[in-house]
């Protein structure tokens, strides 16, 4: 796979190739000018950022061309699916800001699909095969060599009917028989070599239909038909389905056009059309529900919403905003070429988003105490802008007093003249949004570690007053000791240590980055006390609060926060390596 660095400006972007197809179809009046799409997740895991690429396409096309996008759960495999996943998929799509028309389930069509299968059998287009999955696979042939016909291929229609009905009644053991379409064992497209239409699953009840069904349709027999029953016009999916498209069309041909038999209200000329675009792959992560499920089940991450996960709920907990995720999709665009997107682009996008909106606060990660020896009185309340130079974005109060926490690295007992921060010897340093100070000395413990730094301040140098304009070579962060809050920060890094874990040999779990999480306790300004509460819901959706901790990065309040303990997750650092 090639590595792409793509950056289209969304405003200036020309139509993507799917939009071009849609506009052509509209101009030609295809399907009466109707636009209907669907997003068809299988409820067997949580949505990941790859799905969001499809969501932005499916919902985006409907939005842009006055159509409708429905949500359809592709729930044809009860062994892997669950209502838990249905609920989280709905929640994640709502959080992203998309609205579906209706919710459908492939399982809504089990009756119709079964009837269709019976019709295929009666028309001599399907047969029951008793071979094992391995035998069937062995007979498939290769793209250049034809396959071998199953010994059951020419079974009489009546026998096929009886066996298929017995399969559905639960009289046949799982794995013992399948229903196959009788198409062409020599077709150069392997998907035409008598694809499986139905299999038996008796081991698991279905999350919606319970034990009603013992046979379940395969993807190829369910997906196109579901599109057809619903009236989908543009069935947009990822490139790996391109080779399935002729089969998608073949099945629909059997009951539309000249073969129309009333299965759609849109008449004989109506046709859903499948179109494919490139999947999203991102460096240093995996994009497969199966692998993610394994990480969750084995406790290798804290859950589906672990902030290191590429899931929608993980990104959200990491501090990604819906807007940033959608902007990212706009930047990468849609093509027919598979590639790998640099994780740096995703980080760049959220950084650019938060730069405009996240209030700045002071936090001290490696604190040492600073005492301002000439400061008298109880302390005072200063007012600082949430984002410097943007008074319209509000202000916050900062307590100031005689004792402050500063970063240990901002003080040197002996420094050369390239060090502009605190050191005894007359250099002036500004405390962020506050006064100018000069260090006078320090105190150490028996091991020689500095325990307290001493300084004096200039009462006429306060920011926001005339003296506040006086320039210093350095500004340092601080938080006032009495009002400071302890916070836990969770510093996340990439989940995998290698760029493309899916391309490596061996077990992908061995490729996890052992240093993907560091937890620290820090001092943060008391204004964050307002965050000590349960998450706030607006329209049933939790609201995330984002901050820039000055010099440290962008952080989001974690939902584990309680009235006693503030927890912040690092979304990304301040440094952007992507553009370099």
> Using CB distances below 5 to 8 A depending on partner kind, what does residue 314 bind out of ligand ATP, Mg ion, none?
none
Q: Does the active-site annotation cover 318?
A: no
Reported residue count of the chain is: 580
> In this chain, which of 287, 293, 302, 340 binds ligand ATP, going by CB under 6 A?
287
Of 50 and 217, the one with the shorter C-beta distance to ligand ATP is 50
Which of ligand ATP, Mg ion, none does 121 bind, CB closer than 5 to 8 A by kind? Answer: none
CB of residue 167 vs ligand ATP: minimum separation in angstroms?
A: 25
Q: Which of 42, 130, 428, 488 is catalytic?
A: 42
Could you give the angle at the alpha carbon of 488 between the alpha carbons of 486 and 491, nearest 5°?
Answer: 140
Check if 80 is active-site: no
Beta bridge partners of 458: 436
Helix 245-253 with 219-230: angle, nearest 10 deg: 60
Contact letters for ligand ATP, residues 41-80 (x by CB under 6 A): xx-------xx-xx-------------------x------
16-45 binders of Mg ion (CB under 5 A)? 42
Annotated catalytic residue 494: no
User: How many CB atoms are closer than 10 A to CB 477?
Assistant: 23
Q: Using the rule CB under 6 A, is 531 a contact of ligand ATP?
A: no
Partner that binds at residue 237, options ligand ATP, Mg ion, none, CB closer than 5 to 8 Å by kind: ligand ATP
Answer with the entry of Mg ion, ligand ATP, none that 40 interacts with (C-beta below 5 to 8 A by kind): ligand ATP
Enumerate residues 42-81 that contact Mg ion by CB under 5 A: 42
Residues of the chain by 3-state class (helix, strand, coil), percent to 5:
30, 25, 45
Strands 68-73 and 2-4, by their bridges, are unpaired
The entry of ligand ATP, Mg ion, none near residue 288 (CB within 5 to 8 angstroms by kind) is: ligand ATP
Q: How many CB atoms lie within 10 A of CB 25?
A: 18
Angstrom distances, CA of residue 494 to CA of 193, 260, 288, 318, 546: 43, 53, 16, 12, 20
Q: Which of 80, 91, 94, 279 binds ligand ATP (CB under 6 A)?
A: 279
Site for ligand ATP in 232-251 (CB under 6 A): 237-238
* Distant-in-sequence contacts of 87-94, Cβ < 8 A, 24+ apart: 88/46, 88/47, 88/304, 88/313, 89/41, 89/43, 89/46, 89/47, 91/541, 92/46, 92/47, 92/312, 92/313, 92/316, 93/39, 93/47, 93/55, 94/541
Q: Which of 289, 326, 399, 494 is catalytic?
A: 289
Q: How many helices (H) and strands (E) does the chain have?
A: 12, 29
Please list every residue from 234 through 253 that binds Mg ion, using CB under 5 A: none
- List residues near ligand ATP by CB under 6 A: 40-42, 50-51, 53-54, 74, 237-238, 279-280, 287-289
Q: Which residues would be at the binding site for Mg ion (CB under 5 A)?
A: 42
**Catalytic residue positions?**
42, 279, 289
């Amino acid at each position: 796979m090639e590595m792409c660095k793509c950056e289209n400006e969304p405003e200036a972007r020309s139509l993507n190739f799917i939009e071009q197809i849609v506009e052509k179809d509209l101009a030609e009046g295809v399907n009466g000018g109707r636009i209907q799409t669907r997003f068809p997740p299988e409820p067997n895991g949580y949505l990941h950022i790859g799905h969001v690429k499809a969501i932005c396409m499916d919902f985006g096309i409907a939005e842009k061309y006055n159509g409708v996008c429905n949500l359809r759960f592709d729930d044809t495999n009860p062994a892997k699916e669950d209502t838990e996943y249905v609920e989280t998929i709905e929640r994640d799509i709502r959080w992203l800001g998309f609205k579906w028309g209706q919710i459908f389930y492939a399982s809504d069509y089990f009756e119709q699909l079964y009837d269709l299968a019976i019709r295929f059998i009666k028309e001599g287009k399907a047969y029951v095969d008793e071979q094992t999955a391995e035998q069937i696979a062995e007979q498939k042939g290769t793209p250049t060599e034809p396959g071998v016909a199953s010994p059951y291929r020419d079974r009489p229609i009546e026998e096929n009917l009886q066996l298929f009905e017995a399969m559905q009644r639960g009289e046949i053991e799982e794995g013992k028989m399948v229903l196959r379409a009788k198409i062409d064992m020599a077709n150069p497209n392997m998907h035409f070599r008598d694809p499986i239409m139905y299999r038996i699953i008796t081991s698991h009840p279905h999350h919606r239909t319970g034990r009603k069904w013992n046979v379940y349709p395969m993807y190829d027999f369910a997906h196109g038909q579901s599109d057809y029953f619903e009236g989908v016009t543009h069935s947009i999916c990822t490139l790996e389905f391109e080779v399935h498209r002729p089969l998608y069309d073949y099945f629909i041909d059997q009951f539309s056009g000249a073969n129309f038999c009333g299965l759609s209200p849109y008449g004989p000329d109506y046709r859903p059309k499948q179109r494919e675009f490139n999947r999203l792959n991102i460096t240093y992560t995996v994009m497969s529900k199966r692998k993610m499920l394994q990480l969750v089940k084995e406790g290798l991450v804290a859950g589906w919403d672990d902030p290191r996960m590429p899931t929608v709920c993980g990104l959200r907990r990491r501090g990604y905003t819906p807007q940033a995720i959608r902007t990212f999709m706009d930047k990468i665009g849609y093509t027919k070429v598979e590639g790998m997107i640099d994780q740096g682009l995703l980080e760049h996008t959220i950084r650019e988003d938060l730069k405009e909106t996240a209030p700045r606060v002071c936090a001290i990660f490696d604190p040492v105490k600073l005492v301002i020896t000439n400061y008298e009185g109880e302390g005072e309340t200063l007012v600082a802008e949430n984002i410097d130079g943007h008074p319209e974005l509000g202000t916050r109060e900062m307590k100031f007093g005689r004792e402050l926490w500063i970063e240990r690295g901002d003080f040197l007992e002996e420094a050369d003249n390239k060090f502009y921060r605190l050191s005894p010897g007359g250099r002036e340093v500004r405390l962020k949004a506050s006064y100018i100070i000069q260090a006078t000395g320090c105190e150490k413990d028996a091991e020689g570690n500095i325990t307290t730094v001493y300084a004096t301040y200039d009462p006429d140098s306060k920011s926001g007053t005339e003296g506040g304009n006086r320039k210093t070579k350095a500004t340092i962060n601080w938080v006032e000791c009495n009002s400071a809050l302890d916070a836990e920060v969770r510093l996340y890094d990439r989940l995998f240590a290698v760029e493309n874990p899916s391309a490596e040999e061996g077990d992908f779990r061995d490729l996890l980055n052992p240093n993907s999480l560091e937890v620290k306790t820090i001092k943060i300004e008391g204004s964050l006390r307002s965050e000590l509460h349960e998450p706030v819901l607006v329209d049933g959706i939790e609201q995330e609060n984002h901050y820039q901790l000055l010099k440290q990065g962008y952080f989001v309040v974690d939902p584990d926060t309680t009235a006693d303990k503030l927890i912040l997750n690092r979304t990304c650092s301040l440094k952007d390596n992507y553009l370099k």
